[in-house]
Amino acid sequence: MPKIPAGAARLGAEGVEGDKQNDLRHHGGPLRAVCIYSLEIIEALQEEGHPIGPGTTGENLTISGLDWDSLRVGDEMRVGGALIRLTATAPPCNTIAESFAGGEIGRILEESRPGWSRWYASVIEEAIVSAGNSVNTVITSDN
């Protein structure tokens, strides 16, 4: 941590190629293969004075242009050639405390601050994704 920007990476069923997690009980695996976060939310947190930036909260993909508030478990989105499905919001842990003023990781806890959390996703269709790829919601769940 932080995750270093890469020009491209392969999204696979077990995760992002080359990515490693220290705590496999809480991170990684097929239901948490990819962690995504909103660039707009990162920027809003910066405006509040948090020293957060793309990759500092462990997300694999920083995405812009989506209505983050409308995302739900089961939603699918096309990221470049890959297809991912949202599986759960990603609870913050102490490893990302440096991204928040006073170490206040609860600032992005879904239960207390809905719509500010990162998301975990499974990979339905594997592919190499690149910086600048378009991201489109293709199926929205009824949940």
For Cα atoms 5, 58, 24, give the angle at the middle one, nearest 5 degrees.
125
Per CATH, which fold does 8-139 belong to?
M1 Pyruvate Kinase; Domain 3 (2.40.33)
pLDDT tens digit string along 35-84? 999 999 999 999 999 999 999 998 989 999 999 999 999 999 999 889 99
Structure tokens at 118: 């990162």
End-to-end distance of the chain based on CA atoms, in angstroms?
A: 32
* Domain parsing of the chain, residue ranges: 8-139
Q: How far apart are CA 132 and CA 110, in angstroms?
A: 27
pTM summary value: 0.87
pLDDT tens digit string along 8-41? 888 888 877 666 555 555 555 678 899 999 999 9
Structure tokens at 136: 């489109």
DSSP 103-137: G-GGGG-TTTSTT-SEEEEEEEE-EEEETT--EEE
Is 36:133 a contact under the CB 8 Å cutoff? Answer: no
Q: How far apart are CA 104 and CA 59, in angstroms?
A: 18
